[in-house]
Amino acid sequence: MPPSPSSAQDPVPAPRRPLRTERLLLRPVRGGDLPAVTRLWTDPDVRRHLGGPVTGPVIRIRQRRIVGAPGFHAVVRAEDGVLLGLVTVEDGGRDGETEVSYQFLPEHWGHGYAREAVGAAVVRALETAPSVVAVTQEANHRSRRLLESVGLEHAESFVEWDAHQVLYRRRAGRRNPCTEEL
């Protein structure tokens, strides 16, 4: 008898399947990643537009929840396995749309890693989702440029958490600037 469409042969859901780019590997978070991930949550520069550093009790809760959790991708440099940051893909996030967010350690800023990782995550998400959204503070100009560079477009502005926010969106079927020559 042929296998049913929902058999064990189905591929692993997109948020759990590792994703490779030219220089990076996006994979589930492992226990050994927690020191670098904790730095992401506590670094004032990383958290400048994310509500500030996270405190001890919240860190412990997050540490227990993030290891192997669907949607959380450790971004590691393929050549040496160094953790550079996190990219999160949340199905059914903001208003039911797939939402992408990211954080990278400051020593890895300015090398194009975030653009490469976020661009790949957006393309992967659009394989199954009709659209992808991302939100950043209006004042976070670097993040806004990054989101625009991977094909997300300004969709709306609003105030949340006492700060001006910008929602970006990219719908499936739109051009992919990540695969075009720069």
- Grade residue 175 by pLDDT with cuts at 50, 70 and 90: low
Q: For the domain that residue 23 is a member of, what is the CATH number?
A: 3.40.630.30
Q: Provide the pLDDT for residue 141.
A: 95
Q: Which SS3 state, helix, strand or coil, does residue 155 take?
A: strand
In a domain, 12, yes or no: no
Predicted confidence (pLDDT) per residue in 103-146, tens digit = 999 999 999 999 999 999 999 999 999 999 999 999 999 999 99
The chain-wide mean pLDDT, for the chain, equals 87
Q: Which domain holds residue 62?
A: 19-179
Residue 7 lies in a domain: no
On whether residue 4 sits in a domain, the answer given is no
Q: Widest CA span of the chain, in angstroms?
A: 59
Percent of the chain with pLDDT strictly greater than 90:
74
pLDDT, residue 174, reads 62
Q: What pLDDT does residue 16 have?
A: 58
Domain annotation covers residue 11: no
Please work out, in degrees rounded to the nearest 5, the angle formed at the alpha carbon of residue 165 by the alpha carbons of 104 and 34: 25
Euclidean distance between CA atoms 52 and 38, whole angstroms: 13
Assigned domain for 166 exists: yes
Q: Number of folded domains in the chain?
A: 1
Phi, psi dihedral angles at 12 (to 5 degrees) = -60, 140
2 pLDDT tier (thresholds 50, 70, 90): very low
What's the helix, strand, coil split of the chain in %, to 5?
30, 30, 40
Cα angle value 18/63/143 (rounded, 5°): 60
At 173 the pLDDT is 80
